[in-house]
Amino acid sequence: MNEQLLPAVNALAGRFTATASEFRGETTLMVPSEQLVAACRTLRDEFGFNLLEDETAVDYWPQQEPRFHVVYQLYSQPGYLRLCLRVPVSGMHPSVPTVEGIYPNANWHEREIWDMFGIRFEGHSDLRRILMPYDWEGHPLRKDYPLGYEEVAFTFNEDEINQGKPYAKE
């Protein structure tokens, strides 16, 4: 692990129930969702992680439980350091506290995660869909979301498929 990261990692491991792991030079901290906001505030105010580079989510269904990980990529501009936070959440209607109050750019990232994974962000100021149409049903990047493809037409089933297609009128 990068030595400069040690104070931040040790502080988080001491004050919160965070477990650190490392893969190919990237340090990741697993943080429970109820401690997320406090951990982010500590990292920003005391250790200089003043930039939220990216916020995204992963769906590990059906291999893992809890199935969702919300991933925060933090960057420290004074120290040139990167740190990854992961928050595991489970269930069909998961929710995580928003970090919008600490990193304002989380707003759109969280809207995208809500749109694509259906993870609610408690306290978010404007939690609407951002990519899909507002009246869309479901959250497409979930692993159990149906792809919704159309059957491929060959000569033997072409007529059948064409009958079901909603062709536009003038």
Partner 1 sequence: MGIEQKAADMGIVTMRLEQAVNWARTNAMWPMLFGLACCAIEMMAAQASNFDMSRFGMELMRASPRQSDLMIVAGRVSRKMAPVLRRLYDQMPAPKWVIAMGDCASCGGIFNNYAIVQGVDEVVPVDVYVAGCPPRPEALIHGILTLHEKVRGESLKKWA
Residues binding partner 1 (CB under 8 A): 131-133, 136, 140, 145-150, 152-153, 165-170
Packing angle of the helix pair 36-47, 6-15 (nearest 10 deg): 150
- State the minimum distance, in angstroms, from the CB of residue 157 to partner 1: 14
Beta strands 120-122 and 68-76, pairing class: unpaired
- State the minimum distance, in angstroms, from the CB of residue 91 to partner 1: 23
Report the residue number, 88 or 118, with the smaller CB distance to partner 1: 118
User: 28 vs 18, 39, 100, 158, CA distance in Å?
Assistant: 10, 13, 21, 52
Q: CA torsion sign, 36 to 15 to 28 to 104?
A: positive
CA distance 152 to 149: 9
Report the residue number, 71 or 130, with the smaller CB distance to partner 1: 130
- State the minimum distance, in angstroms, from the CB of residue 133 to partner 1: 5
- State the minimum distance, in angstroms, from the CB of residue 126 to partner 1: 19
